[in-house]
Amino acid sequence: MSTIELTRRYQFSASHRLHAQQLSAEENRRIYGKCNNPMGHGHNYWLEVTVSGPVDPQTGRAISPSMLDRLVEATILRELAYSNLNEVVEHFAFQPPTTENLALVIQQRLLERWPQWFSGEIRLVRIRLEETRRNIIESEP
């Protein structure tokens, strides 16, 4: 049976401030520049979730796109959309909410719930998170 990949794309807006608690104010300003603004700033993020699995001969699909949409909505978008990432994501009390760290948080959350939604044949292949046209992060479990 052939295996294919499916990618679904989602958009959400969120704000954050890049600031590492263990660094001095001067170090934070030097490393994060304008992204260290105490008032924060926002982005329109694009999230791509790529999955793979065998194509079911009866349905012609490897995965139900609407099922993946429901998982992403329940696990990611419901909490992150229109939020301040520093305030709503517990992980960011200890780590700065960089796009790299946000991609890893998203990946971890999906992997934690994956077995409840999909069989062992369907696997998460990649997370791609676009913060700006020039800043794109990819993470593979």
- For the stretch 11-56, pLDDT in tens is 999 999 999 999 999 999 999 999 999 999 999 999 999 999 999 8
Mean pLDDT value across residues 78-85:
97
Distance CA 42, CA 66 (A): 28
Partners of residue 42 on adjacent β-strands: 15
Mean pLDDT value across residues 78-92:
96
**pTM summary value:** 0.93
Predicted confidence (pLDDT) at residue 1 exceeds the cutoff of 70: no
Q: Which residues contact residue 57 at a Cβ distance below 8 angstroms, ignoring those fewer than 6 apart?
A: 1
Domains in the chain: how many in total?
1
Torsion from C-alpha of 70, 72, 78, 79, nearest 10 degrees: 150
pLDDT at 119: 83
**Contact call for residues 36 and 28 (beta carbons, < 8 A):** yes
User: Which CATH number characterizes residue 106's domain?
Assistant: 3.30.479.10
Distance CA 5, CA 78 (A): 25
Owning domain of residue 27:
3-139
Find, among 118, 122, 114, the residue nearest to 1 by Cα: 122
**Contact call for residues 103 and 139 (beta carbons, < 8 A):** yes
Mean pLDDT of the chain: 95
Percentage helix, strand, coil, to 5, in the chain?
40, 30, 30
Rg (CA), the chain: 17
